[in-house]
Amino acid sequence: MTALPQEIIARKRDGQALDQSEIAAFVGGLTDASFSEGQISALAMAIFLKGMNRDEAVALTLAMRNSGLVLDWSDLPGPVTDKHSTGGVGDNVSLMLAPIVAACGAYVPMISGRGLGHTGGTLDKMDAIPGYVSEPDSSLFRKVVAETGCAIIGQTSDLAPADKRLYAIRDVTATVASIPLITASILSKKLAAGLGSLVLDVKTGSGAFMTTRKGANALAQSLVAVANGAGLPTTALITDMDQPLASAAGNAVEVANAVDFLTGRKRDRRLEQVTLALAGEMLLSSGIAISHQDALLRAQGALSSGKAAEVFGRMVSALGGPVDFVERSGDYLPAANVIRPLRAKRSGFVDSIASLDIGMAVVSLGGGRVLPQDRIDHSVGVSELLPVGSELRAGEIFAVIHARNESQADAAEAALHSAYVLADGKPRTPRTVLRRIIHQD
């Protein structure tokens, strides 16, 4: 006999572990709306307060995966792999990572999300490319993955639909920051994507969702344990988000930065470190590479040979973008009305950067969202951001603002001057990749 919703809520409220049938009933009620919003809210709060053990989190993840379509890539001749990032400022890694790994022989069906709050969304970046279809039908998605090796698209409504309803309720009931619920939300969608392996990029620092190393470590451990418990081989890297990752934050400016990276015109050091580390993990976990050294050499080769840039260009074209986008991205990407260089008011070294403030400045310019339904301006943002440790003389440029009008540029200028802290001495260069998390039985 199936337990009543209130019985399931009471058991979790009292700190008891839910069994597989109770979790399946809860997810079924989410999917067919037989559980009311009040009941879902109550159970979400009970989980937030009492937590879940690994078996519960695995059962929740699998039930949410099975609430909709589960993709099958068994017809492809190579391994299928992907990466998920918990998000940050200037995090355009996906745009380079997918084509690098695809150029090495793996297939990367990358289903990404939109930005909310100060963190940018991969899908919003791709929407800056004219003509690019970021939400294709399943037949086009499969065709592009098969023919080019990768496709960066948005989540379709038939993948893990239970997660969509649960997240909307968590968002308005202060239960978003629950590690088991975050874990199930992320992994249910990745499992539904039919992957053979997964690599996670868990950010920590002032611009990350998990601002502390302790919180990031707990989330990474949970994700790796539950993913492997659900049958998906997964590793995680904890990476630094105490400063923007790329030298650009926004949508079109991050796409331009990615094209520069792929073609070799310019590669931000920290961005290259994270991108290659994640590429190595993906190539190793998917079986393409036999060691970390082999994986790194393959990833570097895909970049230096131009194969990764070629794959990116073919993907963009196959999904409706310009055929010559890589060669002429500057002609296609939207440009802001106001381009304003920012100059240092004093000499010194960049001692720290408030990443959150940079992200919120982009939102204020119109390049991000406060509410999911907000429209964004793909042309605005900031570029040429100097990293921590850079030496500046008074009057030298440390960032460039891209704005719709002068008043918004004024506000962004004040925010960036406040976000950048200069010191007389050169600071210690912070590490970028902080820790690797692997599954332990």
- Separation between Cα atoms, residue 362 and residue 119, nearest integer Å: 9
From 189, 203, 270, 307, the catalytic residue: 189
Q: Where are the beta strands (DSSP E) in 229-331?
A: 234-240, 249-250
| DSSP sequence for 125-162 | HHTTSTT--SS--HHHHHHHHHHHSEEEEEPPTTSSHH
Tokens found for residue 204: 């920590």
From 190, 267, 307, 369, the catalytic residue: 190
- Separation between Cα atoms, residue 159 and residue 191, nearest integer Å: 9
From 41, 185, 188, 286, the catalytic residue: 185
Is 139 a known active-site residue? no
Is 418 a known active-site residue? no
- Separation between Cα atoms, residue 10 and residue 12, nearest integer Å: 6
From 11, 12, 65, 84, the catalytic residue: 84
Which residues have a Cβ under 8 Å from the Cβ of 117 and sit 6 or more positions away? 359, 363, 368, 369, 370
Which residues have a Cβ under 8 Å from the Cβ of 46 and sit 6 or more positions away? 9, 12, 13
From 83, 203, 307, 314, the catalytic residue: 83
Is 143 a known active-site residue? no
- Separation between Cα atoms, residue 235 and residue 105, nearest integer Å: 20
Is 164 a known active-site residue? no
Is 85 a known active-site residue? yes
Is 189 a known active-site residue? yes
From 81, 85, 286, 432, the catalytic residue: 85
Q: How crowded is residue 21: how many other Cβ atoms within 10 Å of its Cβ?
A: 13
From 114, 142, 170, 298, the catalytic residue: 170
From 12, 31, 41, 82, the catalytic residue: 82
Place of tokens 């926004």: 250
Q: Which helix (H) or strand (E) holds 349?
A: strand 348-353
Sign of the Cα torsion 190, 193, 194, 200 reads negative
Which residues have a Cβ under 8 Å from the Cβ of 279 and sit 6 or more positions away? 97, 100, 101, 104, 295, 296, 299
The Cβ-side half-sphere exposure at 277, using a 13 Å CA radius, reads 22
Is 82 a known active-site residue? yes
Is 170 a known active-site residue? yes
Which residues have a Cβ under 8 Å from the Cβ of 321 and sit 6 or more positions away? 129, 130, 131, 132, 332
From 61, 67, 122, 188, the catalytic residue: 122
- Separation between Cα atoms, residue 212 and residue 221, nearest integer Å: 14
* Catalytic (active-site) positions: 82-85, 122, 170, 185, 189-190
